[in-house]
Amino acid sequence: MLTKRIIPCLDVKDGRTVKGINFEGLRDAGDPVALGTLYAKQGADELVFLDISATTEERGTFASLVKEIAAECTIPFTVGGGINSIGDVDRLLKAGADKVSINSSAVKNPDLINQLAKEFGSQCIVLAIDARLENDYWLVYTHGGKRSTDKELFSWAKEGQLRGAGEILFTSMNHDGTKNGFAVEALNEMSKLVTIPIIASGGAGTMSHFAEVFKEGGADAALAASVFHFGEISIPDLKSYLKENHIAIRN
């Protein structure tokens, strides 16, 4: 049985880790390199660093910060934000990232997924999808949740897999930062439609939410931010809890 993964997410803006609710109202959560190093020591399985303003500011992702993270961090990490080309990915992987996350650029140019998978391999291409439930329809958003699109969550996830994405990182904008639990029903449906790993994001508030998303949501990994950044849940305690609930988890 494949073990489930716990992934702290660090949204980075102006060199600092930030966190908001429903993609709004950002507050400072600390230095991203220091936080990432701490989470690695605590037993996180992977990390995700998202340059959340790179796309809206129309600039590349923070390659210099990636080098700092790679020098200090002992676990795999994914980098996203402002990635638009083979050259962008090549620069970030050479700087030390293990995977890259693409979102807005993939919606704008879906063939980018094919190009990146062919050039670097599906194993390092994560398709990030931000979606909001509106009138029983999961609508995909881009540009940090600021722009709606004509894409629907499940059809886009399936297309992403067909084009060569190695993982799906699905963030429910309705659940983001609310600490009321993940979008379990949507995740369960997605898990039946794709065969690549799904990372659940948005809504973690208690340790039981993690157990629920693994048992009922079919997620392969659970990503969270504020509960880790502000000391509400410790990674060692979370892993002990999940093991007690018979969920296969890494030590």
pLDDT band at 56 (very low <50, low <70, confident <90, very high): very low
Cβ proximity of 141 and 103 under 8 Å:
no
What single-letter amino acid sits at 120?
F
78, burial (CB in 10 Å: exposed 0-12, middle 13-18, buried 19+): buried
Give the separation between CA 206 and CA 195, rounded to whole angstroms: 27
Alpha helices (H) in 77-234, listed in sequence order = 86-95, 104-108, 111-120, 153-163, 184-193, 207-215, 226-229
Altogether, the residues listed in the chain come to a count of 251
- pLDDT of residue 244 exceeding 70, the answer is yes
Identify any residues that bridge with 78 across adjacent strands, giving them in sequence order.
Answer: 48, 99
Q: Considering the domain 5-244, what is its CATH architecture?
A: Alpha-Beta Barrel (3.20)
pLDDT value of position 61: 56
| Residue numbers annotated as active site | 11, 130
Joined tokens for residue 123: 């194993």
Pairing of strands 137-142, 125-134: antiparallel
Largest CA distance in the chain: 46
Mean pLDDT of the chain: 90
Mean pLDDT (whole number) for 169-182: 93
pLDDT value of position 204: 95
Joined tokens for residue 17: 């880790």
Mean pLDDT (whole number) for 7-15: 84
- Cβ neighbours, 10 Å, residue 232: 14
pLDDT value of position 224: 94
pTM to 2 decimals?
0.92
Mean pLDDT (whole number) for 20-34: 60
pLDDT value of position 144: 80
- pLDDT of residue 247 exceeding 70, the answer is yes
pLDDT band at 52 (very low <50, low <70, confident <90, very high): low
Q: At 36, which helix (H) or strand (E)?
A: helix 32-42
pLDDT band at 103 (very low <50, low <70, confident <90, very high): very high
Give the separation between CA 117 and CA 16, rounded to whole angstroms: 30
Mean pLDDT (whole number) for 140-159: 94
pLDDT value of position 11: 83
Can you give the residue ranges of every domain in the chain?
5-244
pLDDT value of position 63: 82
- pLDDT of residue 197 exceeding 90, the answer is yes
Closest CA to 214 of 52, 50, 32, 45: 45
Mean pLDDT (whole number) for 77-97: 94
Joined tokens for residue 138: 């999961």
3-state secondary structure of 76: coil
pLDDT value of position 182: 97
Mean pLDDT (whole number) for 161-174: 97
pLDDT above 70 coverage of the chain, percent: 89
pLDDT in tens, 107-135: 999 999 999 999 999 999 999 999 999 99
